Structure formats: C-alpha cells, structure tokens
Amino acid sequence: MSTYNFDIKSFSTISQNFTSRQVNTFVDACNYIRQLPYKRNSNKNDLSSVFADQYGTCSTKHALLRQLAVENKADNVKLILGVFKMSKQNTPQIGATLDKYGLTYILEAHNYLSVDNEIIDCTKTGFGVDNFVADLIAEVEIESNQITDFKVSYHKEILQKWLSENPQIKLSFNELWTIREQCIEDLAKWTENASH
C-alpha cells in the first residue's frame, strides 16, 4: 500500500460518509473499502450506495475513493480503467467457466487507482495488483461518472477487436459477453461463500 496519505477534512457527502464511520484518512478509507464484500451495487450511479449496501465492485469502490480524493483536493489519486487477460491463473474462481467454453482467458475491464504511478487495488481482501498487473493490455484514466456507460462501451470495443483478431475463437460477441457475465457471477458467488 502506498505511503501516500491524507486526512479527510472535506464536509462533502463522500468524505462525511467516511468520517461518520471513524474513517479519517485516505489509507484507512482504502482499507475500509477493501474489506467490504465484492458484489454489484443496487445503483452504480450513486456512489453512496456502497455505504448503504455495504458492498461494491472494482468500479464503485474505486470511483468512490477517487471521489473522496477529489473532495479533499488530492489530485494525484487517479481512477484507472484497465483491461487485463483474466485467466484461471490470476482468477481461479472462473476456471470452470473458461474450461467449459475452451478459453484460456477472457479480457476483463477492471478499475483501480494510481497514486503517483503506483497502482492501488481495493477490490477485495486477498486480491491485489499482483493478480492482474502482468496481464494488463490497455489502460485509460477516467472519472467516477465514467464507470457505467463509458466503461461498458470501452470494454465491448476491446472485446470485439480481440474477437476479430482471433478467428480461432468460434464465439459470437454476444456469446462472449454472456461468458464474461458468468465469470463475474462466479466471482460474486465465491466471495459470498468465502465471507460466510
């Protein structure tokens, strides 16, 4: 974890949500967010839903932390959208689904933070930078409001390009997207079981 830190001093919504929970620094906020279960939020457009739901995904968790940084004028905390080769090596929980469709990996869009060029991942406990950094194929800096439509269209664009460059993969785009959704489902189920 980065040695970079700041005190939460803003009276804006996200900052207040943290301080009301006795979370008073950026590093503490990262640790708080990391230990929340991995699960899709009821409303991705409202980042406060992470607090209400008490869970989140890589998108909502990191967008929330980026917003916290914005509220506290910590401009060097960037929100990154990366695409990596998600395989059973770096994400064992999806192995059965990949095997079923004869895929060695699937391209997955993943959000994380970059602080002074150091990658910080708060997706969940037991998952970190080492799980994906070696398999990254693309990165773009985004803002918190781009985790919905922009992220999906960017991800679909890269997947379509990958399919056209790999004719040996005998799947339609829609089939590939369904497999990807199943992989995310596998991850959420595994996290749920692990937390019981």
In order along its 196 residues, the chain shows pLDDT tens digits of 456 899 999 999 999 999 999 999 999 999 999 999 988 898 999 999 999 999 999 999 999 999 999 999 999 999 999 999 999 999 999 999 999 999 999 999 999 999 998 999 999 888 878 889 999 999 999 999 999 999 999 999 999 999 999 999 999 999 999 999 999 888 877 766 655 4
Closest CA relative to residue 136, chosen from 75, 186, 196, 81: 81
Q: Would you state the pLDDT for residue 193?
A: 63
**82, 132 in Cβ contact below 8 A?**
yes
Task: For 54, list phi and psi in degrees, rounded to 5.
Answer: 65, 35
Which residue do the tokens 């640790």 mark? 31
What is the b/e burial string over 92-110, where b = at least 16 CB atoms within 10 angstroms of the residue's CB? ebbeebbeeeebebbbbbb
Q: Would you state the pLDDT for residue 36?
A: 95
Q: Would you state the pLDDT for residue 8?
A: 98
Q: Would you state the pLDDT for residue 126?
A: 82
What does DSSP assign to residue 36?
S
Q: Would you state the pLDDT for residue 130?
A: 86
